[in-house]
Each structure stands twice: as C-alpha cells, then as structure tokens.
Chains A and B, each alone.
Chain A
Amino acid sequence: MNRELPRWIDVGVIPAINILLAFLVAGIVVLIVGESPLEAFDVLVTGAFGYDEAIGYTLYYTTNLIFTGLAVAVAFHAGLFNIGGEGQAYIGGLGVGLAALSLDGALPGWLVIPIAMAAGGLFGAAWAFIPAWLQAHRGSHVVITTIMFNFLAAALMVHLMVNVLIEPGQMSPQSREIDASAWMPFAHDVLAGLGIEIARSPLNLSLLWALVACVFVWLLIWRTRWGYAIRTVGHNERAAVYAGIDPKRVIVGTMIVSGALAGFVGINEILGVQHRLLLNFTAGYGFTGIAVALMGRGHPVGIVLASLLFGALYQGGSELDFEFETITRDLVVVIQGLVILFSGALAYMLHPMALRLWRRFGGGEPGP
C-alpha cells in the first residue's frame, strides 16, 4: 500500500498498534460493565496458561483455529473471501464421522484414522467446491454463496442428525460412539507412554496435523508455481491472464484447498474429542478463523501465533465465567469482533498518520 514506509512499520508496528487498539476498546467495555480490565486480563492469562490442564485446553482450541485461519488465509491470497469456513468445517466433520462410523469395526484403527482424516478434507473441499465453481464459471459472488452454504450445511446437519444418524433409542441428536480404536490419540496418553505425565485435556495429535498443514500452506503459497499463480490472481486477475494463468482454475483450486483445511477441524473435534457425530461442534471456529487470518496477516507463522492468542482467549474466557459476576466468555467474542474491525476493516486507518510521522522524524525521502 505505502511503498514509502519501511517494512518494519508496515508489517510490524501498525498491525501491533491495531491489535492494541482492539484490546483497548475491549478494556473500555469491561470498564463500562463495572469491572477492572487489568483483573479481567489477569484472569484470562491465568485461565489460559496458569496450569497444566489449561494449557492443554488452550492448545486444543488453537488446533481448530489454525485450520480455519489457514483456510481463510489461503483464499485471501487468491483475492477470495471464504466466509464459509464454518460450513466447510461442519461438513468436514460429517465426512470424518461417516468414515469412522462406517469403518471402525471392520478395519484396524491405524487405517481408519487416516481414511477419516482424508474424508474430512474431502468433504470440506467438496462443500467449498460448489461456491468456487459458481464464482469461477457463473460469476456468483463467493462471499454470498459461502454464507448461504453455511446455512445449508447447518440445515443439512440438523436433518441428518435428527432423522438419519441419530442413535436408535436416543433422544438427543447424536450418533453412536466411534470405537475407541479409531480415536485420535490424546496428548496425555501419548506422553504418558513416553513417561511424561501431563494433566488430562482434549488436546490430541490433531495439533501435529495442524502444524503439518502450516508447513504445507507455506510451501504451497511461497514455494510452488501454483502458489505464484494464486498470489498473482489475488493481486491482479487481469495481469494473471496475460501471464498465462487461468484464474478460473486457480479460484476453484484455491477454494478446494481452503475447504479441505477448514474440514480438518472435524478431525480434531470428531476423531479427537467428541468421538461421535453431533450438532454445533464447530462453535464459531470458522468465523474466528477470519480474525486469525487477518491478525496473522495470511502467513502460517502469524496464523499459529494468532491461533495461540485466540485459543488462549477461548480457554481463559471460560474462566471469566467463574471469576466474575458480570463478565462472561462472551467478552472473547467482543474482542474477536474488535480484532476483525481494527486489523481488517480499519487496517489502513493509521497509514496516513504513520506516513506523516515517518516523513517528519524518520528521514526517508522528504515529503512532496
């Protein structure tokens, strides 16, 4: 945007100030409801990192957010706004659950798990493919169609859980439990096998898969011909055409990758924690992924850090419920909204001011 500003201000200082602004406003909200922001911050941090179990929970939330954050970021690089992460994660979970439920008795666990993981990616990708194809070939705006697909996913899941997949004789819409052999191993079990004792928590090996996905996205976007095509289309579609790139294929391909990444949330949730299909397990991770991707500026390292922050907020937020009468975990949703506002919508607000200050104090070229 501003070539004149040095890189460290453009990608370091300004984003940091934007996030600070978000937290500052959140602090004002806490003041308005009559509590001390510092105390609330303290509870958040202790709740997220203060003890063994809390760290496990924080990392479990982080896992989901890495997946959805990467999903949004990959699409961003191609200039696409994938608001459908929530629906893709939901359908991805459906894929994981269907694969695991239909194979868990017949095949050994070490075979069921990878098949279920692949099914999660595949289902998520398929759910993103339709809006992508419509955008590429029919010109339907991907923002609107992915929003619609979130609602379609929710309706489909309600229909399937209530009428088809419900465990016979059960009242609540849940499937039967997946056989324990096909569960994604818990971190506390694996580490106990290695002789390290940690508290029980939902953290499972899906975190490793999330980190693998980070490396994959980094390689894809910055180290392959495909990634070059994605970034070119994102910057300037017309230039991409002249460079011999087919934007239609790039749009569809990028959204498939994006949908698969979001679908992986199903691995952590269904295979790792819930061990059965149920409703609403996505719990807004798809939308938080937008905040994560914006805050992480589309880079896997940034996304891991932002996921860690929001994972901590999710976990620390549940602690707010216990410690305060007037603040609940919903404060985290407020913070999330503010981060999207300041790091996303208002990302350029500070640029003119920064430029003026830089010209006056930082040297560079003299102003016009």
Chain B
Amino acid sequence: MSEMWLLTLLTIDATLRVSAPLILAAMAGLFSERSGVIDIGLEGKMLAGAFAAAATAAVTGSAWLGLGAAVLVSVALAMLHGFACITHKGDQVVSGVALNVLVAGLTIVLGIAWFDQGGQTPPLASDARFQSHHMPEVGFLRGIPILGSIWYEVIAGHNILVYVALLSVPFTWWVVYRTRFGLRLRAVGESPAAVDTAGIQVEWLRYRALIITGILCGIAGAYLSTGQSAGFVRDMTAGKGYIALAAMIFGKWRPVPALLACLLFGFLDAVAVRLQGVDIPGIGEAPVALIQALPYALTVILLAGFIGKAIAPKAIGRAYVKER
C-alpha cells in the first residue's frame, strides 16, 4: 500500500473524528433554528454536557450513565433558553450568550469543588469511556484490496458516538422533511401566525424542538469528554459550538449540506493539525492558525452572499406574540 494512500485514509479518519461533535451540534442547532429560535448556546450546552458526562462517568464508572447525565443537563439548559425566550419573550441572542458564559464558569467552579483537580475531572478508566469498535465479526473485510483498507482505516474503529453522529443526519432529514412534526417545525419557523391559526400551539412546538436540540448537544458533549478524550478539561469545547453553528448556516439550515460543511470544517482542522510545523515549499512554515480560521472566513463569505445565498428561517429571532 502506498504511503500517500494511507495518509489520505488517515486524514479522512481524523476528519470523521473531529467532525462528529460538529455534526451532532449542527443538527441540534438546525432543530432550534428551524423552529425560529436562534441558538448561540450550542457551545454552552455542549460544554455542560461534556462536564456532566465526564463527572458522572468518573463517579459511577459507566459511560452510558455519563451520556444520560449529559443529555439531561443539556436539555435542562435548552429548557432554560426556552423559558427565557419562548415563555418570557426575552432576546434569544442574549439568552444564548448568558448560557455560554454561565456554563463556562459553572463547569470550572463545580469541577474544582467536586474533584479538586484545577477544573478537570479525574482521568477516566477505559471502561468508563466509549470504546472504539473494530467490529471483529467482519474482520475478513480487511483482506479485500482498497475497500479493505478503507474499511479498516476509515469506517471501522470509531467509538459508537461517531456512528450516532453520522446517523443523526438521516434522522434529522427524516424528521424535518418526512414527518408531521417536521412540517409543523418548518412552518413555525417561517410563519408562526399561520401555525397558530391552524390550531397548533406555537410555544409547545418550539419547546419540543429545543428538547431535541438539548439531546443532540448532550451527546456531542459526551463524545468530547468520554469518547474522544478521557475526561473533562476546562473550556474543552473551545469554540466547537460556534463552528457547528457556522456549519449549520453554511449548510443553509438543511441537514445534508450542513453535514458536508461539518466534514469540510473538520477536514480543515485535521489538515491544520497535520501541518503543524511542516514547511511548505514556497510558503515557508504552514500558517496553521490561518487554516484553522478558514471555517469562520468561509461562513462570513457565504453570509455575505458571495457563494450562493443563505436565507434564514423567516421568523427566526422573534418571540411569537399571540394576537388578541
């Protein structure tokens, strides 16, 4: 097998690993924003989920209980967001910022108080984490030329949450485009008044969208602290929530394009990591920081309407006030 081929496969493999939490969070954002609620708070919910998962897994020794705790905490935060901007019609952006700041502080304060390790959770034993699956049952696939190496290096060998992340895309697509709930979800993001006239409760519909957002963000957080790494470190999301938000916008609020955007952004990140300290002929040392900034730059360019047009759901950002 040529070295180039293996390098390509390993980069794609790394891309999947880096993209998984982005995909989950982007799908999470999609539900919220399609219902007309801006969600700047993806970052905060993910971070809270990561902390809850690692803390629970550290105490109980079970990755699954950790995942449950992450989902619970993240949904609770989503409900707080709903309470502020659906029930009390507060500003959605302000509420999202509040969540992010609050969680950034709270995870460290609680982490230090509970585990006394400078804001980290204790390192997790391997059975308190989500293990990689090499699927030995189908190990014979490895013998097939080309396909076998793709199978072994890229597709197999991830932890289960990576596959959950990938499955969340067809799931989201199916819910949004093929169910009654999805139809109403899209309608309430475009014209809540019409949905209200049809006798459907706008607020409850938006709350349900936020519950799904919370669940997906919780899984993304659990992936970070109990899948990808073995424990929680302070500020471990490091802007991934915002990248996911950008990817969702880049995908024009649609599941499959959003997935592709996540993969693109993940790929850029994986490449940047690989290029650390590498000399490129003609340029000199690779400008890693600038490569990592590309997702943000691309999103701005897209929003400016220079690559296609990104049109947000029409009613986004506004609380629904029933006519009297």
Contact check, B91 vs A337: say whether CB atoms are below 8 A apart: no
Looking at the assembled complex, report how far the CB atom of B296 sits from the nearest CB atom of chain A, in whole angstroms.
4
Chain B residue with minimal CB distance to A160?
A: B289
Stretch at the interface among B8-16, B82-90, B120-128, B200-208: B82-90
Considering the chains assembled together, what is the distance between the CA atoms of A307 and B104 in angstroms?
A: 21
1/0 contact string of A91-132 vs chain B (CB within 8 Å)? 000000000000000000000000000000000000000110
Q: Is the CB of A330 within 8 A of B289?
A: no
Check B106–A140 contact: CB distance below 8 A.
no
Q: B114 — which chain A residues lie within 8 A by C-beta?
A: 33
Minimum CB–CB distance for B322 against chain A, Å: 14
Q: Could you say which residues of chain A place their CB within 8 Å of the CB of B104?
A: 333, 337
A-B contact pairs, 18 of them (CB 8 A): A130-B300, A134-B300, A138-B303, A141-B312, A144-B245, A145-B300, A149-B300, A158-B289, A159-B287, A159-B289, A162-B289, A330-B108, A330-B109, A337-B98, A338-B102, A341-B102, A345-B85, A346-B88
Interface residue? A147 (CB, 8 A): yes
Residue of chain A at shortest CB distance from B81: A345
Interface SS of chain A: helix, strand, loop or mixed? helix
Partner of B40, one of A147, A149, A154: A147
The interface bits of chain B over 267-298 (1 if a CB of A lies within 8 angstroms of the residue's CB, else 0) are: 00000000000000000010101101100110
Number of residues from A at the complex interface, CB < 8 A: 53
Contact A337 B105, beta carbon cutoff 8 Å? yes
- The residues of B with any CB-CB pair to A shorter than 8 Å are 38, 40, 80, 83-85, 88-91, 93-95, 97-106, 108-110, 112-114, 116, 119, 239, 242, 245-246, 249, 285, 287, 289-290, 292-293, 296-297, 299-300, 303-305, 312
**Cβ-defined contact, A344 with B98, below 8 A:** yes
The verdict on A139 contacting chain B, using a C-beta distance below 8 Å, is yes
Q: A140-B303, A147-B245, A344-B97 are in contact. List 9 more A-B contacts (CB 8 A).
A: A138-B303, A144-B245, A151-B242, A151-B296, A156-B289, A159-B289, A287-B101, A333-B102, A340-B101
The answer to whether B105 touches A331, judged by C-beta atoms less than 8 angstroms apart, is yes
> A30-64: contact bitstring with B at CB < 8 Å (1 yes, 0 no)?
00111000000000000000000000000000000
Chain A stretch 306-349: residues in CB contact (< 8 A) with chain B: 325-328, 330-338, 340-341, 344-349
Taking the nearest CB of chain A, how far is it from the CB of B132, in angstroms? 30
Q: Is the CB of A163 within 8 A of B108?
A: no
B interface: dominant SS:
helix
> CA A58 – CA B93 in complex, angstroms?
29
A127 to chain B, nearest CB (A): 12
Q: Are the CB atoms of B95 and A328 closer together than 8 Å?
A: no
Q: Taking the complex as formed, is A203 at the interface, i.e. its CB lies under 8 A from any CB of chain B?
A: no
Contacts of B246 in A (CB 8 A): 144, 148
- Asked if B40 and A330 sit within 8 Å, CB to CB, the answer is no
Chain A, residue nearest B92 (CB): A345
Q: Which residues from chain A contact B287 at a C-beta distance below 8 Å?
A: 159, 163
Known: A140-B305, A334-B102. A33 touches B94 (CB 8 A): no
Contacts of B80 in A (CB 8 A): 341
> Do B88 and A348 touch (CB < 8 A)?
yes
Do residues A341 and B303 form an inter-chain contact, with CB atoms below 8 A?
no
Minimum CB–CB distance for B291 against chain A, Å: 9
Q: A287 vs B90: C-alpha distance in the bound complex, in angstroms?
A: 19
Q: CA A328 – CA B119 in complex, angstroms? A: 10
A145 to B242, CA, bound (A): 11
Q: Are B113 and A33 in contact (CB under 8 A)?
A: yes
| A345, B84: Cβ atoms closer than 8 Å | yes
B105 touches A139 (CB 8 A): no
A145 CB → nearest B CB, Å: 5
Measured between beta carbons, the chain A residues less than 8 angstroms from B108 are 328, 330, 333
| Contact yes or no, A147 B242, CB < 8 A | yes
Min CB distance B112 to A, Å, is: 6
Partner of B109, one of A81, A334, A336: A334
